[in-house]
Structure 1
Amino acid sequence: MIARRSLLLAAGAAALARPAILRPALAQGEPWPRERSIRHVVPVAPGGSQDIVARLLARHLTDALGQSVLVENMPGAGSNIGYEHVARSKPDGYTLLAGSDSLSINRALFPKLGFDTTGFAPVAQGVRVPQILVVRADSPVRSLDDVVALARAAGVALGTPGNGSLAHLLGEQIQAATEIRWTHAPYKGGALALNDLLGGSLQGVLINIGAVTDHVRGGRLRGVFVSSAQRTAALPEVPTLAEAGLPGAEAVGWHGIVAPAGTDPAICARVNAAVAEVLRRPEVAGRIAALGLEPVLAPPEALGEVIRADAARWAEVVRRARIQPD
């Protein structure tokens, strides 16, 4: 995992070092993006970490690209309303999509979609999003072993942001590896699950780390494990799943940008370079770090590889666990 990450960083650095080569290709055709504002479609409701990252990038890309980047939330149907809208949009660079790991998951979860979730033009991975299991600060659960023991002795109810979410799929992997079953409580978003956890209706919640960093730092919740290969800088006291005894059970999402299939690769490369420049800005880097997320500097092709690999991986989990969408 470390070697792969190093290769991606190296490839990203090489790609970002060549902006002068990319811009002339754009100049030969339409002077993108001078013609009009850029729409940045966010396929989820406002307020969550995906929306926060999308708005943060859009605000700073407005300056980096010299054109307004306007956020438009288009939630519903597990993000598929926004996804389909962008998939059917003209591939001219003036419509971008705030993509995430659900692009890979939805291909298996919704077999009758009218568009190919892996067919978007990759632009920038943006940030990596580890998952985390959190419990109340007064919970006796402090480790994965405690979760396993509780599930076997008395049962345990764990919430997630919904059926087919990355957190749900991670939970299915853990249950298969530990040979236990817990009661899965899917919610219409992570905020509702966290409310019930804080209120005592759940024993824990599996969720993306950006949704709970402040709760853990404030002492209201305790992190049991994170799903990344290494501990996160935001919550360094929380062990990884590998440290908890489950090596290989990693599940890291992403919040980034894709475009309609057929978008000029030079436009994708230019946005990719702009995103990398934005992620290096101290105010952006600080906000990303505060959320517990990790910036990714890699070329568009690297994101395409992530989407394809995750689609194959999660399709098997969806099939084996017989997961149905909410």
Structure 2
Amino acid sequence: MSKPVSPAAGASRRALLALLAAGGLPALARPAAARPAFAQDPSAPFPDRPVRMIIPVAPGGSLDILGRTFARQMTPVLGQPVVAENHPGAGSNLAFELVARARPDGHTLLVGSDPLTINPSLYRRVGFHPVRDFAPIAELVRAPQVLVVHPTHPATDLASFLRLARQAEGRMTMASQGNGSIGHLTGAVLSRRAEVAFTHVPYRGGGPAVIDVVAGHVEALLVTLPAAIEHIRGGRLKALAVSSGTRSGALPDVPTIAEGGFPGFDIVTWQGILATAGTPEPVIARLHTVLVEALRRPDVAEGLRSQGFEVTGTNPEAFAALIREEANRWPPVVRLANAQLD
């Protein structure tokens, strides 16, 4: 169990909020991963062999489901197998480095999410740069973090939850998917803005954290909505607020943290597909078209929405802009949460 997040930790509230709102941090200055130089022939047919879909987590989670769903959808259209491969480890860094160093021809793809932009400030050394080493293709979905408690918890909304947390003077337990996860960092920002402390309880993934809140072993949890939505619908968890700037279509009756008295609060997880930097533009364009057409299929889109995702399907330029913004956003939050890992 980590130490409680103290309201006095890190940068001042005003400075932190200014940085988060303005994105005023310089671009990450870490060296790019070493990568062999491959000669590219933009006119070469694509694909001319199976495509690898690298999933940076173990089987079973939402990122794994997303990668396998789109691998199945892409295979008949591309005319080559799209093979989903799980490469968990080192907080997803192993998978990120694998794709960063791959031949830039579109035959190795990454199912990316927020750790791609969080990890360079979370870990002291990483072998990739989230902006320079990847070619974004399409953001596919996004989802908020949801603040949940056991149904018997006395809190009925965010205001009463924070009031109880203040009375507990740092003893209220707040779980997350893990140290430095987006749930942990969302909790750190909420702690700072609300001027209230929690005892952070990191888990190895959202699933185990959800189970322990359902069992009553920890009091509260900030977790990506798809990990908790079935328990919320089944009455095994009580949702108090979501972290997105607008309410979730999957939980329209649950207010946002911004509505609870924290204007501008807007933190979501995103998931999308990236290739290695230097992949020819025609290959990126074809992959984007195939992914977006799959995303428009009613069965695919409704399946994702039913899990609590918002379907996006952005173009490569918009996805690249999101990654640049996120890479600038997280360093001060990691410092605030005292979350840096070796």
CA contact (8 A) 1:40 1:58 kept: yes
Q: Which amino acid aligns with 2:198?
A: W
**Which residue in the other structure is 1:210 paired with?**
226
**Which residue in the other structure is 2:75 paired with?**
62
Residue 108 of structure 1 aligns to a residue in which SS? helix
Q: How does 1:22-171 map to 2 (within 5 A)?
A: 29-33=43-47, 35-119=48-132, 120-154=134-168, 155-171=171-187
The TM-score with structure 2 as length reference comes to 0.85
Shift of 1:194: 1.1
Question: What is the CA–CA distance in structure 1 between the aligned matches of 2:314 and 2:216, rounded to whole Å?
Answer: 42
User: What do the CA deviations read for 1:125-148 (whole angstroms, capped 9, x no partner)?
Assistant: 110121111111222122111221
User: What do the CA deviations read for 1:181-231 (whole angstroms, capped 9, x no partner)?
Assistant: 001101111111111111111111110011111111111111111111111
- Asked whether 1:297 is paired with 2:310, we answer no
**Which residue in the other structure is 1:178 paired with?**
194
Shift of 1:27: 10
Residue 278 of structure 2 aligns to a residue in which SS? coil
Alpha-carbon spacing, 1:195–1:267, altered in 2? closer, same or farther (3 Å): same
Shift of 1:75: 0.2
Q: Which amino acid aligns with 2:69?
A: L
Q: Give percent identity, aligned residues only.
A: 46
Could you list the runs of 5+ residues in structure 2 that have no partner in the other structure?
Answer: 1-39
Shift of 1:52: 1.1
CA contact (8 A) 1:175 1:181 kept: yes
CA contact (8 A) 1:106 1:117 kept: no
Residue 261 of structure 2 aligns to a residue in which SS? coil
Residue 307 of structure 1 aligns to a residue in which SS? helix
Question: What is the CA–CA distance in structure 1 between the aligned matches of 2:340 and 2:58, rounded to whole Å?
Answer: 21
User: What do the CA deviations read for 1:40-97 (whole angstroms, capped 9, x no partner)?
Assistant: 0000011111111111111111133232111000001110011111111111111000
CA contact (8 A) 1:64 1:278 kept: no
CA contact (8 A) 1:103 1:118 kept: no
Q: Which amino acid aligns with 1:290?
A: S
Question: What is the CA–CA distance in structure 1 between the aligned matches of 2:211 and 2:308, rounded to whole Å?
Answer: 20
The total of aligned residue pairs comes to 300
Question: What is the CA–CA distance in structure 2 between the aligned matches of 1:49 and 1:190, rounded to whole Å?
Answer: 10
Moved more, 228-237 or 73-82: 228-237
Q: How does 1:178-197 map to 2 (within 5 A)?
A: 178-197=194-213
Residue 341 of structure 2 aligns to a residue in which SS? coil
**Which residue in the other structure is 2:300 paired with?**
284
Q: Which amino acid aligns with 1:265?
A: E
Question: What is the CA–CA distance in structure 2 between the aligned matches of 1:104 and 1:88, rounded to whole Å?
Answer: 17
Match of 2:269 among 253, 276, 280: 253
Shift of 1:297: 2.6
Residue 284 of structure 2 aligns to a residue in which SS? helix
Question: What is the CA–CA distance in structure 2 between the aligned matches of 1:280 and 1:258, rounded to whole Å?
Answer: 19
Question: What is the CA–CA distance in structure 2 between the aligned matches of 1:90 and 1:38, rounded to whole Å?
Answer: 12
Question: What is the CA–CA distance in structure 1 between the aligned matches of 2:201 and 2:147, rounded to whole Å?
Answer: 14
Question: What is the CA–CA distance in structure 1 between the aligned matches of 2:119 and 2:224, rounded to whole Å?
Answer: 17
Match of 1:219 among 229, 235, 246: 235
Alpha-carbon spacing, 1:324–1:28, altered in 2? closer, same or farther (3 Å): closer
The TM-score with structure 1 as length reference comes to 0.89
- Asked whether 1:317 is paired with 2:333, we answer yes
CA contact (8 A) 2:109 2:273 kept: yes
| Higher relative helix content | 1
CA contact (8 A) 2:124 2:341 kept: no
User: What do the CA deviations read for 1:168-187 (whole angstroms, capped 9, x no partner)?
Assistant: 11111000001010011011
